[in-house]
Amino acid sequence: MATSFSGPPADGRGRLARTAALAAALVVLAAGGQLLGLWEPLELMAYDRVVGVRFAAGPPSRAASRIAVIAVDERSLERLGAWPWPASVHARLWQVLARSRPAAVGFDVMLKERPRDPADVRALIEAARRLDGLVMPGGAEAPFPELAGAVRHLASIRYPVDPDGRVRRLVSEPGEPLPMAAVLAALANEASGATTSAGPPSPRAAPAPAAGGSSVWWIDWRRPPVVRWPLSVTALFPTYSLVDVLDGTVDPSWIEGRVVLVGVTAPGVAGADRHLTSLARLGPVPGVLVHAGAVRALLDPGAVRRAGGWSATISAVLVGLAWAAAGSASGRRGGPARAGGRLLVPLALLGLYEMAAVTLFVWAGWWLPMAAPAMGLLGTQIAAGAQAVVEERRRRRHVEMAFGRYVAREVLEELIRSSDLPAVGGARRKVAVLMADLCSFTPFAERHAPEQVVEALNAYLEAMARPVLEAGGMLDKYLGDGILAVFGAPVGGPGAARRALLASMAIVERVQALNRARASSGRCALDVRVAIHAGEVIVGNVGIPERLDYTAIGDAVNLASRLQDLAGPGEVVASVPAMEAARTETGVPPPAPRGWQRFDPETVTLRGRREPVAVVRWRKTGLAAGDGPGPLAV
């Protein structure tokens, strides 16, 4: 079967180059997107998910018991009146807290306006001086000047709110006060002799810039050792109503040595802030409890530490290497199964990486990039999918160009689906070889004009080739006035020898029908002779990449050619190996079709061969009623 196309659609070096390019694109897409912040919204969503996993399955908080929340709740508002309260209430609370000796007190209430009564001013200043560790809002939220001068620590109560409306971190900017939670955590650790990542508390309102720029502390949420259901944010920390503290109902030992946060928790109070957090199940959280959660995050071991851009690069490189390895291992010819396998390896590695990242976060607080590798792989897979579509179309055109004129459409489609294109050098196959040619064609060509010869030749070749295609065989090549056909290649299948035998008989019948038609119009008729043999051959592309022949080579082809010389007009000569192969395929010897006579096996000596060959002859005895050149029933 001669072909004149420019070789396979993709060679090994081109495949490796494309795979390496896609792997490099994955690394650049993942790492570059991470460094540019393109994946930050997805990373924050992933952060929320792993925070939820850590809350549910991670270690419980050790620091929650070191925190106490004094809530301006609905009971307190009912007893003490509408908000805001007079300065005397705050002064009284500070006096009670000073006697309880907390480690630090975060007062999440703004007292920016100076009380009109000088006695209230003196009471606030005196109580503030007596309450060591009092931290009040600083900056734009700082109290009136006299009180600000009496308070040792002023801190920021602002939180950066992400575009999705959630609070996830504390940020310290150069020239700005430290966040209140950072100052409280530093005071608590100072009182206990420990250290904190927030650094030492700043004296009074002096700014505490982070070395080299901004500092960020991430807020996660941990469950307490004992969880009360239904879950609410006030169940995460010991929480007391402010009015109970004033009445002395709260034992001072419950406050001693703890970080105390005072703020509004009652809904509907003007100026009281509420925020969504990374733990969605908590819903909107009052600002004072966000401070409590931030203090706990700083005090608990295993605080969240976000890995730098290097981790995104490393993770992307790992997935990129897996992609490259999978692409190389999948072979030159894609196909859906191998394309799936090429994706499966990096997906599996990505899954292992994500599982490791979640485990490190839950148990050690290490936050590795999770969106960057996934998005890099997704983007590269989209590119690879587009490339696969292009290559599959190119491969399909290649197969159609190579085999479309030599096999039936059904065989062509099966060959396309198989994704196994024949390679240069070929492969060993068990096939059935069919050879047929016209008797006395040379004298016929000598006596007739070339136009008549071509017209007759095309008609007879059509009668010989059509049964081969209908039986699922491959028309290897035209041999002048004959054909060479192969059954069992390029696509293997059951019954190759039986299909070859039936096709040979159909060829004789089609030629006889053609002869009757030609004789009725006064044209010359020619007989055909056919031979088949079964055996091993090498089938594949032979030649150079610019011009290849897909053909069958081997002794079986040579023997079929010799058997054809032995056949008489209108006769089929089948080797005994071919008959045995047909019997093995069906379990019974091939029966003689109607109108055909089968002769007993005979042993013949063929030209050029030392050993005799056993053959069986089949001869058409005449057309029965209804016989004719219809489609071959295999």
Computed over every residue of the chain, the mean pLDDT equals 81
Look at residue 340 and tell me whether its pLDDT is greater than 80.
no
Look at residue 335 and tell me whether its pLDDT is greater than 60.
no
* Residue 337 CB neighbours (<10 A): 10
Three-class SS state of 562? helix
**CA atoms of 120 and 327, how far apart (whole Å):** 77
What digits encode the pLDDT tens for the residues 462-499?
999 999 989 988 888 899 899 999 998 877 767 899 99
- Fill in the amino acid letter for 539: V
What digits encode the pLDDT tens for the residues 67-105?
999 999 999 999 999 999 999 999 999 999 999 999 999
Q: Which element (helix H / strand E) includes 264?
A: strand 259-264
* % helix, strand, coil for the chain, step of 5: 45, 20, 35
- Fill in the amino acid letter for 609: R
Q: Which element (helix H / strand E) includes 241?
A: strand 239-241
Question: Above pLDDT 70, what percent of the chain?
Answer: 74
DSSP letter at 278 equals: S
Identify any residues that bridge with 552 across adjacent strands, giving them in sequence order: 539
Give me the helix-helix angle, 496-520 and 576-586, nearest 10°: 110
Question: Above pLDDT 90, what percent of the chain?
Answer: 51
- Fill in the amino acid letter for 555: D
pLDDT of res. 583: 86
CB 258 within 8 A of CB 67: yes
What digits encode the pLDDT tens for the residues 99-134?
999 999 999 999 999 999 999 999 999 999 999 899
pLDDT of res. 17: 67
The residue among 25 and 560 whose pLDDT is bigger is 560
Please state which of the ranges 67-81, 100-114, 562-576, 613-627 shows the lowest mean pLDDT: 613-627
What digits encode the pLDDT tens for the residues 201-260?
443 333 343 444 578 899 999 988 887 777 788 889 999 999 999 999 999 999 999 999
pLDDT of res. 324: 58
Average pLDDT over residues 431-457: 93
Task: Give, in degrees to the nearest 5, the angle at Cα 318 between 315 and 319.
Answer: 90
What string of DSSP letters covers 210-230? PTTS-EEEE------SS--SS
pLDDT of res. 331: 47
Please state which of the ranges 316-325, 387-396, 523-532, 596-605 shows the lowest mean pLDDT: 316-325
pLDDT-derived band at 145 (thresholds 50, 70, 90) equals: very high
Please state which of the ranges 92-106, 245-259, 541-555, 593-607 shows the lowest mean pLDDT: 541-555
Bridge-based pairing of strands 153-155 and 134-137 is parallel
pLDDT of res. 195: 54
Alpha helices in 432-554 (DSSP H): 441-447, 450-470, 496-520
What string of DSSP letters covers 189-213? HHHHT---TT-SPPSBT---PPTTS
pLDDT-derived band at 389 (thresholds 50, 70, 90) equals: confident
Cα(first)–Cα(last) distance of the chain, in Å? 23
pLDDT of res. 209: 38
**CA atoms of 555 and 12, how far apart (whole Å):** 32
pLDDT of res. 347: 76
Look at residue 309 and tell me whether its pLDDT is greater than 90.
no
Highest-confidence segment of 287-291, 426-430, 472-476: 287-291
pLDDT of res. 606: 87
pTM of the model as a whole: 0.61
Identify any residues that bridge with 531 across adjacent strands, giving them in sequence order: 435, 573
pLDDT of res. 489: 80
**47 token code pair:** 């952060």
The residue among 2 and 499 whose pLDDT is bigger is 499
